Amino acid sequence: MQAVRTILVALLLGWVLPAFALVAVPQLTGRVVDQTGTLSSGDIARLTQTLADLQARKGSQIAVLIVPTTDGEPIEQFSLRVAEAWKIGRKKIDDGALLVVAKNDRHLRIEVGYGLEGALTDVTTRRIIDEVITPKFKSGDFAGGISAGVDKMIALVNGEKLPGPAPAHWDDRPSLDNVNPFWFFLAVVVGGILRSTLGRLLGSVSAGGFATALAWFLLGDLGVALAAGVLAFMIFVFIDFTSSGRGGSGWSSGSSSSSSDWSSSSSSSSDSGSFSGGGGSFGGGGASGSW
């Protein structure tokens, strides 16, 4: 019985200890993560711009990771762990790819998401490694090898039929924070003219319509424009009840309220601009190599 227990403990330790010894997955801090200092800041900037252009044009994501070593873990296993953690590529489209270089081990791998396996097949990724990347690595040109490999991957992805990138969020358009205050003053003046000409009710409705058209022109978002029109209408109606249609401080209060409300709405969902994976999945497609 003691011998059986000893064997079971040995087997358990043989499974558990290697798991704790695995190299931690690096944090995704950008499209290019270099933990070795191999690439210069200019190299990283150029690669990042190239990969960002691909995402803007096709929606696909490609990332590059350079680590010193996988510490004995097969690069296929390490690369897949990174890909699963980073989730490069779009969710349900799975159009992501990852180029991993373990510099001290002299190993590299291209990990391919499900959605790109038609373009970046095992055969083509192997050829990219053997014919494009490793010849430059052997001469010490790591930046050139990675750049050439990425360019070849992008060329193949460009030929793949994929859903287009999602349209830019409306917050990417100019916000009221950047709009000249003249437009707010114009809305107030035109609203006052319409109310004095058409009467309080019809004039307030017309002023709301003018505010809608003006906001649509400035921001290019119909939903926000409609909200601005309703807000303007309510402000003018409120002015009627509180100031009996007189100008002065009543108009000033209406303009200030509108500006504050719109500014808060535009800044509440601002984008931090950091790069992150889109939820893509990987199944082990791709190829490995060494130099």
Which range (5-9, 107-111, 152-156, 225-229) has the least confidence? 5-9
- Closest Cα to residue 113, out of 128, 131, 125? 125
- Closest Cα to residue 257, out of 240, 236, 278, 243? 236
What's the pLDDT at 127? 95
What's the pLDDT at 263? 33
Which range (17-21, 36-40, 134-138, 150-154) has the least confidence? 17-21
What's the pLDDT at 79? 93
115 and 94 Cβ atoms separated by less than 8 Å: yes
Angle formed at CA 132 by CA 130 and CA 134, multiple of 5 degrees: 55
- Closest Cα to residue 290, out of 80, 109, 82, 27? 109
Q: Please tell me the distance from the alpha carbon of residue 87 to that of residue 279, in angstroms, as a whole number.
A: 5
pLDDT band, residue 286 (cuts 50/70/90): confident
162 and 95 Cβ atoms separated by less than 8 Å: yes
Question: Who wins on pLDDT, 90 or 190?
Answer: 90
Which range (20-29, 86-95, 129-138, 161-170) has the least confidence? 161-170
pTM score over 0.85: no
| pLDDT at residue 283 is higher than 70 | yes
User: How much of the chain, in percent, has pLDDT values that exceed 90?
Assistant: 38
